[in-house]
Amino acid sequence: MINIGDILSPKHILLDLDADTQSKAIAKVAELLEHDSRVKDWNRFYEGVVANCSCTTNESGSGICIAHVRTNAVSGMIMAVGRSLEGVPFDEAGIRVRLLFVIGVPVALASDYLRIIGALARIFRAEKGEAALLAAKTHAAFLDRLCALEIEM
């Protein structure tokens, strides 16, 4: 079973995402993965991520977005995260997104992919989970908190 800690590296976490549109935000976070050895075809991966972006809000009104693609343009599951304390306006949903996850997964790893997406949704729905991620001061602290929340939730 693949866990968040297996696919997310501290270097793929952007704690101060600064973008004023959905497309700029996705581009900035996705670019963290551009030179990852697991990306076999960057253009196909990026086009898929842009085309599959799901956003939602929690009870506090904060937004989360998961831009994802199931594709053989990646050789293994990959993830990058962008965090904006002020929130980025996302056109389609009309919300301000504070956490943006970009995920790529090979077609063969569908069950692990669904489990990771479910874990992110549970973490975000819990006010405590979102607060812990927004309070992280370093890339390593963000990753540690996210991994702990994955186990806890």
How far, in Å, CA of 106 to CA of 65, rounded? Answer: 20
Domains of the chain: 12-152 (3.40.930.10)
Structural contact between residues 111 and 133, judged by C-beta atoms closer than 8 angstroms: no
* pLDDT digits 0-9 by tens, 50-103: 998 888 777 777 788 899 999 999 999 999 999 999 999 886 556 889 999 999
How far, in Å, CA of 125 to CA of 38, rounded? Answer: 30
DSSP 8-state assignment for residue 34: T
Nearest to 41 by CA among 73, 1, 85, 7: 73
How far, in Å, CA of 71 to CA of 49, rounded? Answer: 10
How far, in Å, CA of 90 to CA of 108, rounded? Answer: 30
DSSP 8-state assignment for residue 60: T
- Residue 17: predicted pLDDT: 97
Structural contact between residues 72 and 104, judged by C-beta atoms closer than 8 angstroms: no
- Residue 96: predicted pLDDT: 86
Residue 38 corresponds to which tokens in the numbers above? 């697991």
Q: What does pTM read for this prediction?
A: 0.93
* pLDDT digits 0-9 by tens, 6-55: 999 999 999 999 999 889 999 999 999 999 999 999 999 999 999 988 88
Q: Which residue has the higher pLDDT, 42 or 118?
A: 42
Q: Which residue has the higher pLDDT, 146 or 96?
A: 146
